[in-house]
Structure 1
Amino acid sequence: MIPYATIEEASLALGRNLTTLETLWFDYSATKSDYYLYCHNILFLFLIFSLVPLPLVFVELARSASGWFDRYKIQPKGKNSFSDMFRCYRDVMKMFILVVGPLQLVSYPSIQMIEIRSGLPLPSFGEIAAQLVVYFLVEDYTNYWVHRFFHSKWGYEKIHHIHHEYTAPIGYAAPYAHWAEVLLLGVPTFLGPAIAPGHMITFWLWIALRQIEAIETHSGYDFPWTLTKFIPFYGGAEYHDYHHYVGGQSQSNFASVFTYCDYIYGTDKGYRFQKKLLQQMTGIRSGLPLPSLMEIVAQLVVYFLIEDYTNYWIHRWLHCKWGYEKIHRVHHEYTSPIGYASPYAHWAEVLLLGIPTFLGPAIAPGHIMTFWLWISLRQMEAIETHSGYDLPWTLTKLVPFYGGAEYHDYHHYVGGKSQSNFASVFTYCDYIYGTDKFIRTINL
């Protein structure tokens, strides 16, 4: 509960006026206990479990009627009737009433213990985003090992087999599980906030986003706008669908959100073999039908993100002593770059930086037209980045985290000793790994 009687008292304690959001939060929460605020999660979970999968029900029914959505259905032979989906929802609500709801009601002391706060000031958007990233990573890693336990002989036969009744999952199947599984998987969900406790609003948002992500992962559809197309190492519906398709004997694709644990511990080999086989059968194609505009855009986003991340690390290596003296110094002959300096480099650098460019199409092959467009856009972006001009219409003004000419120009200006601004396209790697500290200090 907020320890201030009035907004004026809160402003005096903070030494500043409340923001609009803080004023709204004060008006809503000032007279409510922390326990009451915590119990909002019961309402949020009920609404998420009930409403978020609902569009997928209409998609499934429309697919049965017209077949139009078959192109996005991961297991097109699997069909779910309205009665099947309603039965799943009914069983989920039983679990919600008997387990999830009561658990929320009695678990408040744990929230007090880890000191989730509900007062002022509200967390900044940056703080919320950082904590959510931590929560997702902690949950993902611990969930992976709990999930692997569920696929032991005892764990599967006694607990996890219920969740696997749906070999072609639907959205409502995300929370469909044995009561013991619901309790055990609550531990990874709670562990992040326990390690890095934040504000009650962040906690609400975390619980909501985690459940929405689980529903999307169990949707059974791989739409062009799914997060798999935009976030590296995100599993998504197609990845998790393989786990359900294989069933109880599955020792693959245990990932909760991201796929890195499966990759590190070798539990995605079956899935990768299947993907490799399909890629060999398909590959980059040149025939009909042509890709849709949405498919082209989604693949280009994937290509840019993959290229950007791998290019970052190669670029950092090129700035080690040996890499710079033997290879990269040629490119840095231009301390004040011009457009033509973009491809000006040692032959070994041209070959090395070709790997990130080709990696995206290798991972997510598309049509030859998409490949042409990708190569063209990547080179035009590189030329713009080396233009030496920060014009009013540059993409820096329109695209978040886009580096652009001004950002990369600093890298050339500092020269060979530069350990800053390695970004190829976007700046998030520099921000995450702390290699933009110098330019951020200058901007401050």
Structure 2
Amino acid sequence: MSSHNASELPILCSSGQLLLQPLWDRVRAREALTQSPLFAVLFSITTYVGFCLPFVVLDVLCPWVPALRRYKIHPDFSPTARQLLPCLGQTLYQHVVFVFPLTLLYWARGPAPWPREAPELLQLARHVVGCLLLFDAEFFAWHVLHHKVPWLYRTFHKMHHQNTASFALATQYMSAWELLSLGFFDMVNVTLLQCHPLTVLVFHVFNIWLSVEDHSGYDFPWSTHRLVPFGWYGGVRHHDLHHSQFNCNFAPYFTHWDKLLGTLRSAHAK
């Protein structure tokens, strides 16, 4: 081995970034777009709507495809256009009126320079799981507070509970205060853990997917809660029980906080 190759090898091996580097290089090649304030809003909306659309199609097909009903939590319910369109309109309105101006303020100070190197795969995985656990704890506390204090519930959280039978596009049918609270938790967590920009994007994709899946109304054999052992992850039936009974299963994803504080109710016992 030449001295030139020998000097490069430790650098490559110590980075541990070989799997993610090509992906990160492609993101950095579009830096003019990905570092613009418009990108954050477009990324959020397109990811959310993209995850919702398959479930919207399933809801349309469900009355005509009886086999789908075995996976639907409420087999006789299908959201109508009068339910779907206000939910989609609420999401678009809040992103234009609230999220985009706040993003502009954030970027006004100047975007932070991006590193040339991708994160290590294990580091990315640890940070994504860490952000999900932190978000789960923060939203659990926020959620309990907004259910236990009547004024908070009526003023800020009741809107999200107007649809007792969940469907995908109802995921972000919420007040501006609730949407901004969730966004604030996201920002705090990725800053606290000093996440790589690629990790931030991956975390947002996971977070949006899990929230849409929890509200989708479908419990498939490959649903996320079936992939996590020991009942640590609640899943769609778990969250649907919260929407129908209001006083249980406050954590958005995991079950440990509800179990510790006595608010866990098994979806199987339902």
**1:105 Cα deviation from its structure 2 partner:** 2.7
Matched, 1:134 2:133: no
- Equivalent residue, structure 2, for 1:155: 152
Instruction: Return the offset for 1:20.
Output: 8.0
Aligned pairs for 1:3-402 within 5 A = 22=21, 25-26=24-25, 29=28, 32=31, 36=35, 39-108=38-107, 118-151=114-147, 152-232=149-229, 233-246=232-245, 250-268=246-264, 271-272=265-266, 275-276=268-269
Structure 2: state its 5+ residue gaps: 1-6
Alpha-carbon distance in structure 2 between the residues aligned to 1:226 and 1:128: 22
Q: 1:74 to 1:37 in 2, by over 3 A?
A: same
Q: Distance in 2 between matches of 1:177 and 1:75?
A: 22
8 Å CA contact 2:156–2:177 kept in 1: the answer is yes
Deviation of 1:153 (Å): 0.5
Against the structure 1 CA distance between its residues 68 and 108, is the aligned structure 2 distance closer, same or farther, given a 3 Å change threshold?
same
> What is the Cα deviation at residue 106 of structure 1?
2.3
Distance 1:35-1:110 versus aligned 2 partners, 3 A rule? farther
* Cα deviation digits, residues 66-101 of structure 1 (max 9, x gap): 443221111223331234223321222112221223
Aligned-residue Cα RMSD (Å) equals 2.9
Conservation of the 8 A alpha-carbon contact between 1:35 and 1:108: no
The CA distance in 1 between the partners of 2:29 and 2:50, in whole Å, is 30
1:158 positional shift: 0.4
Cα distance in 2 between the residues matched to 1:260 and 1:67: 36
Deviation of 1:124 after TM superposition, in Å, equals 1.1
**1:65 CA drift (Å):** 2.9
1:24–1:60: structure 2 CA closer, same or farther, 3 Å change rule? Answer: closer
Identical aligned residues as a percent: 26
Shift of the 172–185 alpha-carbon distance from structure 1 to 2, 3 Å rule, reads same
Shift of 1:46: 1.5
TM-score (norm 1): 0.53
**Cα deviation, residue 53, structure 1:** 0.7
CA displacement 1:388-411 (0-9 Å, x = unmatched):
xxxxxxxxxxxxxxxxxxxxxxxx
- The equivalent residue for 1:390 is none
Contact 2:60/2:78 (8 A) holds in 1: no
Contact 2:146–2:152 at 8 Å: present in 1 too?
yes
In the superposition, relative to structure 1, how do residues 65 and 33 fare at CA in structure 2: closer, same or farther (>3 Å)? closer
Please report how far the alpha carbon of residue 194 of structure 1 lies from its aligned counterpart in structure 2 after TM superposition: 1.9
Within 1, Cα distance between the matches of 2:164 and 2:249?
14
Total equivalences in the alignment: 257
Structure 1: state its 5+ residue gaps. Answer: 1-10, 279-444
Larger Rg: 1
Moved over 6 A (4+): 109-112
**In 2: Cα distance, 1:117 partner to 1:129 partner:** 22
Which amino acid letter does the alignment assign opposite residue 242 of structure 1? L
Whether the 8 Å contact between 1:219 and 1:237 is mirrored in structure 2 is yes
Q: Aligned to 1:146, what secondary structure does the other structure show? A: helix
Are the aligned partners of 2:219 and 2:236 in contact in 1 as well (CA < 8 Å)? yes
TM-score (norm 2): 0.84
How far did residue 136 of structure 1 move? 0.7
What is the deviation of 1:104?
2.6
Is the contact between residue 139 and residue 191 of structure 1 (CA under 8 Å) also seen in structure 2? no
Letter matched to residue 129 of structure 1? A
Residue-by-residue CA offset, 1:150-189 (whole Å, 9 max, x unaligned): 2121111001011111100111111110001111222322
Whether contact under 8 Å (2:144, 2:250) holds in the other structure is yes
Larger relative contact order, structure 1 or 2 (CA cutoff 8 Å, min sep 6): 2
